[in-house]
Every structure is written in C-alpha cells, then in structure tokens.
Amino acid sequence: MKLLHTLRPQSILYLCFACLTLFFASCGDDNNPVIDDGKPVNKNANVVTTDKAVLRLEFPALKKTGRQQVIVYRVSDHKKYDNDHVNYAVEWDCDKKSQRWSCYQMHLGYTGKYDRVTPNNNKYPQDPNIATEDRYDDVIYRSGFDHGHICPNADRKYSYDANYQTFYMSNMQPQYSKFNGFSDDRKNYGLWARMEIQLRKWVDNLGPKDTIFVCKGGTIDDEKNIIKRIDGKLIVPKYFFTAVLRKYYINGKHKYIALGYWCDQTNSYRTNETIKQHCMSIEKLEQLTGIDFFCNLPDDIEANVEKNYNESSWKWL
C-alpha cells in the first residue's frame, strides 16, 4: 500500500489497496465509528490509515481496487463548524483520471460573502496534490460542457479558501449547461441545479445541532453509464447521483433519515420532471452506483436508513 500525507490545508491519502490493516477509533461522535465493549459495530467502516476523516459519516466506502487517491481539503477558518477543519473530500481515480465522488457536511449558517471566487485568469486550477500523469489538462473548456462543481461553490460561502477549493479540477465533472445550470432569465433550471438548490433549502431549515451529510458524483465505472470521452480522454458521466443523510434532534436524541437521487444527464431543462421523480432509497442507489454509502454508520442504523425512504419525511419546497 502506497500512502501520501501532507500537513497542508489539503491532506491526502493515496491508497492502492493491496494490503490493509484494520484500525478503529474509539469515540462516540458522528465522525468516528461506534465501539461496543471493545468490538466494532461498523463491520464495513472505512479503514483508518493516517487521517481519521475517512470515518466521517459523509464518506462512502473507499474503492478497494485500482489506484485511488482520497483528498481531504481543509481550511484553517472552519473551526466554527468542524473541529477537524474539513471543507470537503474527493475520491480521485488515478487510472481513469477522473473523480468518483465528492463528499461534505452541511450545517445551518453555511453562508457568507464569498461566492464564486474567481480563479486566476478565470482558469480552473489543477489540484497540486494530483500527479501530472494521473490527470488530464482542462479538456472541459470549450468542449460544449460546463465545469460541473460536485461540491458546489454555493455550498461553501463562509470563507475565501473554502470557496476557492471547490474550483479545483478534482471537484469537476463535465455537465451539460441545461442539466447543471439555468436559463438567462432564470425561469428554467436543470434537474441537477434544482437538486442542489433543494439541498440548500433543507439546510436553511436545520436545527442548530442538525447536520446533512452529502456524497455526490457521476458514473465513471461502467461503459454503459458513460456518454463519451472528451478528446478521447475525460469521461462524461451519463448519470449523476446524490446520497443525502440527515441527522436531526428530537427530545434531546438524534435520529437519521436518508434519500438517494439518481438522474440521467441530458442537454435539456426537463421542466416537466420533478426532483421527487428521481429520488429513491439509498439501498437502490447503491445497486445503481455500486457504491456503499454511509458505511461509517453503526450497522443497525445504516441498514435501517438505507432501506427506508419515506417521501413524507422530506419537505419538498
């Protein structure tokens, strides 16, 4: 197993899963697996190597084959919401030279003055922690596709650094404008854009101790789930997904509910379709994506929230 780790604002785990040793942290908070009488109750929890961030609830199970790089972006001014200063994280596939997912947390008050921080020369920066041979140059530019933020810059407005980090190419997937954006008069929004807006509406209604855990991405692992490759290189996903876990408090105790979102990417606004039409249980989303979401939950809670999706539990605005 090859491992890289830095102490810069971004910490990196470079994982080639040839051999893994299992460690569990004994802690009772949301970002560590639960231990019961010295025995882990998270049988499918992620492995801890040098960064305990992989045990956070927003993380899915890390891919165990091929060459994967897990990048955890941190900012120094994030202490208010996150003791580990985590902004968001990405799993980068070094062989496909594409990101598999971005995951992050949302709390009440993730607002601020920083919105669409403009990168230098209006160019999307490459993540300096990804080797040149493991990534492509920016082939999205002038390809007919947008630079689709997977962790949206609009979800990270509380600081300059947090917003800037969302512009890394490692957080991008090629998306059609009419899927990812909106019309000039803002009367029509794409299905992906509508889902992101809905997430922010849910966050606005959270309690002070509530959290939404998010994992989002595009399909890169199966040829039938790929539209094309730009210049014969960068994958354009045919489907995009969102896994949402909501933790909320009732009578001093926290509970969890979850939903999955799965939508085919087309170059049209599809105003006759609703977000609800594309929502499902996490269990079904896992079957479609092949990804084990929210694996760091205790097994009994994980099984319950992933199997049960109740539309009435979510406020559709």
Q: Are 129 and 12 in contact (CB under 8 A)?
A: yes
Measured distance CA(263)–CA(58) in Å, rounded: 20
Q: Are 12 and 6 in contact (CB under 8 A)?
A: yes
Determine the pLDDT at residue 108: 85
Q: What is the pLDDT along the chain (317 residues), one digit of tens a residue?
A: 333 433 344 444 444 433 332 333 323 356 655 444 445 578 899 988 778 999 999 999 999 999 999 999 999 876 677 888 999 999 999 999 999 999 999 998 777 778 777 666 668 999 999 999 999 999 999 999 999 999 999 999 888 999 999 999 999 999 999 999 999 999 999 999 999 999 999 999 898 889 999 999 999 999 999 999 999 999 999 999 999 999 998 888 889 999 999 999 999 999 999 999 999 999 999 999 999 999 999 999 999 999 999 998 898 64
Measured distance CA(244)–CA(215) in Å, rounded: 7
What is the number of residues in the chain?
Answer: 317
Contacts of 161 (CB under 8 A, 6+ apart): 9, 75, 76, 77, 87
Determine the pLDDT at residue 37: 46
Q: Is 223 left (phi over 0), alpha (psi -120 to 50) or beta?
A: alpha
Determine the pLDDT at residue 155: 94
Nearest Cα to Cα of residue 73 among 10, 14, 130, 13: 10
Half-sphere exposure of 288 (CA within 13 A, CB side): 23
Determine the pLDDT at residue 31: 62
Measured distance CA(262)–CA(277) in Å, rounded: 9
Cα angle: 59, vertex 61, 67; to 5 degrees: 105
DSSP string of the chain? -------SSEEEEEEETTS---------STTS--EETTEES-TTPPPPSS-GGGGSTT--PPP-SSEEEEEEEE-TT-TTT-TT-EEEEEEEETTTTEEEEEEEEE-TT---S--SPPPGGGPPPPPTTS-GGGS----STTTTSEEEESS-GGG--S-HHHHHHTTSGGGEEEE-HHHHSB-TTS--B-HHHHHHHHHHHHHHT--TT-EEEEEEEE--S-GGGEEEEETTTEEEESEEEEEEEEEEEETTEEEEEEEEEEEE--SS--TT--SGGGEE-HHHHHHHH---TTTTS-HHHHHHHHH---GGGS---
> Which residue is it, tokens 């609009």?
154
Determine the pLDDT at residue 43: 86
Q: Are 103 and 215 in contact (CB under 8 A)?
A: yes
Q: Are 314 and 198 in contact (CB under 8 A)?
A: no
pTM of the model: 0.88
Domain boundaries, the chain: 95-313
Determine the pLDDT at residue 48: 87
Tell me the CATH number of domain 95-313, given options 3.40.50.720, 3.40.570.10, 3.40.109.10, 3.10.450.50: 3.40.570.10
